[in-house]
Structure 1
Amino acid sequence: MIPKVMPPLADLTVLVTRPAPQAAVLCEEIGRQGGTAIAFPAVEIVAQTAEIASGHDLIIFASVNAVAHGVHLIEKSPTARVAAIGRATAAALAQTSLRADIVPEAGFDSEALLAHPDLTLASGARVLIVRGIGGRELMRDTFTARGMIVETREVYQRVRPTIDPATRDALEVRWDSEGIDVVTATSIETLHNLIGMLSDRGRTLLAKTPLLVASRRIAEAAQAAGLNGMMLVANGADDASMIGAMARWRTRARVA
């Protein structure tokens, strides 16, 4: 008899905290891999009005949402290069009229992009950073220090969603009675919002539940917030990296 192949995420219940449109995609993939996904968006993306941008030598997209809300503002010259902060952002660009010329091989933050060997420009070059309101200033400061002319287009804002107490309570009752195996967090802001959206009961449950994060920076922020339980660190924030980290963890748990 041929043994039945068990899906990699079989019997795994995952709390997905991405913004709603992206949460839906990840939840669907978790289901295809045999798991059960519960969408609980801890960040809401609000589009912002920004001006058309043109005449830049390098255009950097700092997130998937920067692509979704900013790509229509870009007038790219034939010689301009486009950089994506990570694989998920590059994949989002691939669905548009632009393509990423520069993508970090590992990581998805400013440090990873700035370390890319092809990210070289002469002093005086014009750089555009497409991002959300309140983004980190490391890239702007670094390029400015190198003598480049840096502009930004802040095309969206991240806000904490308003949560209906009944919805929150229903989640926490289900969490307490049936269990959640892992909680995802793909940004520090998402993590902090989640902590703020839960009640004391929910925060106690969160502290005892394995947390899957997309970088060491998020893991350190979680520990600073008092979440000292099991921490899983994915290779990136894209769906494939998050699913892969969960699958590897699940496989190790079954073997053990």
Structure 2
Amino acid sequence: MIRPLANRRFLVTRPENQSDRLAALLQDAGATPLLAPMIAIGEAADPAALDAVLHRLDDFDLAVFVSPTALDQVGQRIRHWPAELAAAVIGPASRERARELGILDVLCPDNRYDSEGLLELPSLQRMEGRRVVLFRGNAGRELLADSLTARGAQVEIVEAYRRLPPTMAREALAAMLAEDCDGVIVTSSEAVQNLFSMSDEALTRKLRGSLFFASHPAIADTARRQGVASVFTTAAGDAGIVASLIECFAGSQASPSASAPATPAPIPASTPKNHPPARPSSAAGRSRPRWTSQLLWALVGAALAIGVASLLQQGRRQDIGGEMDGRLSLLETRLRALSVGEQRDGGRMSQLDTQLAGINHSISELNAQQADLQALYGSIAGDQEETLLADAELTLSLASQQLQLTGNVGAALAALYRLDERLAGHDKPRLMALRRALARDLDALKRVPWIDYVGLSAKIDSLAGNVDKLPLVVDATSAEDAADRGTTQASGLLGEFSRALGALVSIRRIDQPDPVLLAPQQALYLREQVKLRLLNARLALLQRDEVTFRRDLAATEQAMRKHFDTRAKPVIATLATLRELQMAQPAQALPTPVDSLNAARDARRKASREDVK
């Protein structure tokens, strides 16, 4: 198994609850992760407010999570996510965590994994009237909330967790960096700041000389502002970070160095003590020059140097061969992965082609259905216009008959106003003549003086009902005579003298005749006759017969003055009401909507001719 990051050590600064997957991927690649969380995650400052929002998730149209930690905190407090509620996340890790929570509709940018990339999604451009809940930590960026609010959304910000300073001791961090550390992995600008904040001068120098791997350009800029010289921007996501590390360290694998054998030092020749020196055999032997021995030693040294060089070259060849084998195996692995990816992409392309063909077929069917619907709508629109004109003609005919029979101007005005409202919803040239004629008829009806026929009829009915209670003149005279007799009897002698004098002298008014003495049965007939006169006057009012109306009221008034006690208050009130009724003018020349009726009939005939053509 190829482990491209073997013998490598990396400092991981992610929070403790987010570093497990990255650490596992590093271990699979052969590296040793050094976990140094530079951000501690705490519970929200107001858990009750968070729970209250989670209980009314159905009130929102979109939920936005700024980090996987926000998803973790929400996932611990909720059992079932609403199926209709979509979620928007920033990176691949958050997208995977959202799907683990059961969120079906997840929005995530494809290239740029930050707030700016999320705001570039097409589905977040038009947010008018949409309700959005934003789950984030304390003191987060306001970019998402402000941008969504500016686009018309109603944003509610909820604190799901708190970012706290790291709890790791400085000594533990120094111990990790004291050993061989090939790089520092940072995924948050706040983690970079906390890392340098807790470091002393020596540790800061150590950090500035280390290689930093940042998952975003903004985080890399934060590291450079802290004085880090070597900053490498990785791909987004845990898998992207590990892939970037493998790419960075692909050409600098550690290889064992071949140790060269030690060159032995020359040992001078010595003569043994127990043996005497050999005697020279000849004079030539005695006179051999000294340079021959030096040449011999030089040849021996050159041979040793060539042997050492050949051994070193052989070791280097072996190292180069091993390194080449490792690179070739890595390339083969990548080629296999690429071939698998190409096959997978080929399968996806075939599926997409199939789906595209189905979509094109569906579009063609929709176009055909749209054409059918347009044709149907045209026929329905024509039928609807014909129906509207027929209703208008019927309404105008009824209003004209109502005016002629009952003279009810209010009912006719109400009918014409309703017809005008219906015509206002159909802006067609053919109806303009009808609308102009209808406006003229409305103005003519509004200029007619208002007569309350119902109120006048009610007054007449009230008078007829009170006739039985009105006192007659005969009844008033009898009561006065009885009172006079009682007074005379009470006066004694003076009363007798008054009666005698009254028998001799009688004083009467000659300008008015004496009231007619009526029997009880005749009084009943008189009252019924007055009632009949009033009822005839009411019928004449409803029929707009002004002559009969005035004649019956005059006859009623004459009977009242002749047979009823005009000094009584009920009779006085009745006479006043009769005079008020006689001032009314029930017979008026009412206009009729003839122009509107003719315009409706003309428009209907034109529509019929066009349909025939």
Same fold (TM over 0.5): yes
The amino acid of 1:241's aligned partner reads: G
Please tell me whether the aligned partners of residues 61 and 86 of structure 2 are also in contact (alpha carbons under 8 angstroms). Answer: yes
Could you report, residue by residue, the CA deviation over 1:164-186 in whole angstroms, capped at 9, with x for unpaired residues? 34423423xxx23x321110110
Does the C-alpha gap of structure 1 residues 188 and 34 become closer, same or farther in structure 2, counting only changes over 3 Å?
Answer: same
Cα distance in 2 for partners of 1:132, 1:31 equals: 30
Distance 1:123 1:204, change over 3 A: same
Q: Which residue pairs with 2:122 in the alignment? A: 117
Instruction: Kindly provide the amino acid, as one letter, of the partner of residue 189 in structure 2.
Output: I
The C-alpha deviation readout for 1:28-86, integer Å capped at 9, x for no partner, is: 22111101111111111102112324211111111000000024359855443211111
Tell me the SS of whatever aligns to 2:124.
coil
Cα distance in 1, alignment partners of residues 155 and 108 from structure 2: 19
After the TM superposition, which residues 155-170 of structure 1 pair with which residues of structure 2 at under 5 Å, given as runs? 155-170=160-175
Q: 2:210 & 2:9 partners in 1: Cα distance?
A: 11
Higher relative CO (Cα under 8 Å, sequence separation at least 6) belongs to 1
Q: Paired residue for 2:227? A: 226
Match of 2:248 in 1: 249
Alpha-carbon distance change, 109 to 120 in structure 1, aligned in 2, over 3 angstroms: same
- In structure 1, list runs of 5 or more residues that go unmatched: none
Task: Provide the secondary structure at the position in 2 that maps to 1:198.
Answer: coil
Equivalent residue runs for 1:90-129 within 5 Å: 90-129=95-134
- Is the partner of 2:185 in helix, strand or coil? strand
Q: Percent identity?
A: 28
CA contact (8 A) 2:85 2:105 kept: no
Q: Is the counterpart of residue 87 in structure 1 residue 92 in structure 2?
A: yes
Determine helix, strand or coil for the equivalent of 1:251: coil
Q: Which amino acid aligns with 2:71?
A: V
What's the counterpart of residue 10 of structure 1? 6
**The residue matched to 1:202 in structure 2 has which SS?**
helix
User: Which amino acid counterpart does residue 58 of structure 1 have in structure 2?
Assistant: L
In structure 1, how many angstroms separate the alpha carbons of the residues matched to 2:112 and 2:243?
15
Contact 1:163–1:197 (CA under 8 A) maintained in structure 2: no
Report the Cα distance in structure 2 between the residues aligned to 1:37 and 1:76, rounded to whole angstroms: 35
The aligned amino acid for 1:8 is P
Q: Distance in 2 between matches of 1:104 and 1:205?
A: 36
Q: Given the superposition, is the C-alpha separation of residues 209 and 99 from structure 1 closer, same or farther in structure 2, using an over 3 Å criterion?
A: farther
* 2:145 matches 1:146: no
1:180-238 CA-to-partner distances (Å, cap 9, x unmatched) read 111011010011011112222111111111100010001111112222x22111221x2
The Cα of 1:94 is off from its aligned counterpart by 1.5
Tell me how far apart the structure 1 counterparts of residues 17 and 61 of structure 2 sit (CA, whole Å). Answer: 31
5+ unaligned residues in a row in structure 2: which ranges? 254-322, 328-613
Q: Which aligned pairs between 1:208-223 and structure 2 lie closer than 5 A?
A: 208-223=209-224
- Tell whether the 8 Å contact from 1:102 to 1:119 is kept in structure 2 after alignment: no
The question of whether the paired residues in 2 share the 8 Å contact of 1:15 and 1:38 is answered with: yes
Distance 1:83 1:245 in 2: 26
Measured at CA, do residues 33 and 102 of structure 1 come closer, stay the same or move farther in structure 2, by a change above 3 Å?
A: same
TM-score normalized with structure 2 length = 0.38
Cα RMSD after superposing both structures: 2.1
Q: SS of the counterpart of 1:91?
A: helix
Query: Which amino acid in the other structure matches residue 137 of structure 1?
Result: E
